């Protein structure tokens, strides 16, 4: 879970990889970037109940995504 400014800013960027069973939750978040990513991401924007309101698959590096109604974002490494 990313709570500090630094952990939210960096997220999964610059990591060489991520185990399949790991994900990052960004509470209180409605936008993400993929600058510095070395792998594609699965991204889910969640509402205040934790329900998925938007799905983005195989998001590559150098992108910015925003979902104004989101209360959190969940992201993990895409399968190849």
Question: Could you tell me the pTM of the whole model?
Answer: 0.83
- Write b or e for each residue in 60-76: b if 16 or more Cβ atoms lie within 10 A of its Cβ, otherwise e: eeeeebebeebbbbbbb
Contacts of 51 (CB under 8 A, 6+ apart): none
What pLDDT does 16 receive? 63
pLDDT per position as a tens digit, 14-52: 666 666 778 889 999 999 988 888 889 999 999 999 999
Residue 78 or 22, more confident: 78
Residue 2 or 45, more confident: 45
What pLDDT does 6 receive? 60
């Amino acid at each position: 879970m990313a709570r500090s400014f630094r952990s939210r800013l960096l997220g999964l960027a610059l990591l060489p990889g991520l185990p399949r069973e790991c994900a990052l939750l960004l509470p209180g978040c409605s936008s993400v970037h993929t600058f510095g990513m070395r792998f594609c991401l699965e991204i889910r924007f969640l509402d205040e109940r934790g329900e998925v309101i938007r799905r983005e698959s195989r998001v590559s590096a150098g992108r910015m995504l925003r979902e104004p109604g989101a209360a959190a974002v969940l992201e993990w490494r895409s399968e190849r």
